[in-house]
């Protein structure tokens, strides 16, 4: 297996057809997982939709370092593929970076793949409602329809600090979220190799 940069457009079919959200996020970096020169999975990183999140992680001074791991899709879901893709794509990112990702409890996701790749667990967001966008899904922006509200499920928030040893130490000290014990879902089976429920691995 190997992880290589790909054009954003190469990730679009994966995101629109395989990911449960069925919509394109902001994409600043896109990488593909290859086996024998065949694309077996994609991962994308981009600007978080919420500027409040960027400030809230480590403060105003470091908000420009925050990016979101916003899509992860695998074709075969073989053991260790997801953790390999995450770990090796992070190595290809410029540093320092503060990477945020979420596990959607509404999709029965716990975030075991982030736990397996040493992300920090920093709590769970509250359920809420958002304005609906034109396609009927939630909208985080002022362009939504205030007359129609769409439910947003709670999400487990994970953070990874990418950089040199010195940069990691500094940013960890600046982290404004409390680092908590990893959540567990007793209905799912998990092992140290990263094997867990298919949905939890395939569709971050």
> What is the pLDDT, as a whole number, of residue 134?
56
Residue 4 lies in a domain: no
Residue 9 lies in a domain: no
Residue 30 lies in a domain: no
> What is the pLDDT, as a whole number, of residue 127?
65
Parent domain of 64: 45-202
pLDDT tens series, the chain, 204 aa: 999 999 999 999 999 988 777 789 999 999 999 999 999 999 999 999 899 999 999 999 999 999 999 999 999 888 899 999 999 999 999 999 999 999 988 878 899 999 999 999 999 987 655 555 555 555 454 555 566 655 467 899 999 999 999 999 999 999 999 999 999 876 554 333 333 333 344 444
> What is the pLDDT, as a whole number, of residue 151?
47
> What is the pLDDT, as a whole number, of residue 190?
39
Q: Considering the entire predicted model, what is its pTM?
A: 0.81
Domains: count for the chain: 1
Residue 139 lies in a domain: yes
Residue 3 lies in a domain: no
- Return the HEC string of the chain: CEEEECCHHHHHHHHHHHCCCCCCCCCCEEEEEEECCEEEEEEEEECCCCHHHHHHHHCHHHHHHEEEEEEEEECCCCCCHHHHHHHHHHHCCCCCEEEEEEEEHHHCCCCHHHHHCCCEEEEECCCEEEEECCCCCEECCCCCEEEEEEEECCEEEEEEEECCHHHHHHHHHHCCCCCECCCCCCCCCCCCCCCCCHHHHHCC
Q: What confidence tens digit (pLDDT) does each residue in 128-185 have?
A: 555 555 555 554 545 555 666 554 678 999 999 999 999 999 999 999 999 999 998 7
């Amino acid at each position: 297996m190997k992880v290589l940069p790909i054009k954003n457009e190469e990730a679009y079919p994966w995101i629109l057809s395989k990911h449960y959200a069925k919509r394109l996020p902001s994409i600043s970096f896109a990488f593909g997982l290859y086996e024998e020169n065949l694309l077996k999975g994609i991962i994308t990183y981009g600007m978080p939709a919420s500027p409040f999140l960027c400030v809230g992680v480590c403060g105003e001074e470091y908000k420009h370092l925050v990016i979101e791991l916003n899509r992860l899709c695998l074709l075969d879901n073989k053991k260790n593929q997801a953790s390999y893709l995450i770990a090796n794509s992070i190595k290809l990112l410029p540093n320092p970076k503060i990477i945020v990702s979420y596990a959607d409890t509404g999709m029965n996701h716990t975030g075991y793949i982030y736990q397996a790749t040493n992300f920090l667990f920093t709590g769970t967001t509250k359920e809420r409602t958002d304005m609906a966008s034109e396609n009927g899904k939630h909208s985080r922006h002022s362009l939504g329809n205030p007359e129609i509200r769409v439910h947003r499920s709670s999400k487990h928030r994970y953070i990874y600090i990418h950089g040199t040893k010195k940069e990691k130490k500094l940013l960890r000290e600046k982290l404004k979220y409390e680092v908590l014990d990893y959540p567990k879902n007793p209905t799912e089976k998990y092992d140290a190799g990263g094997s867990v429920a298919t949905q939890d691995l395939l569709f971050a």
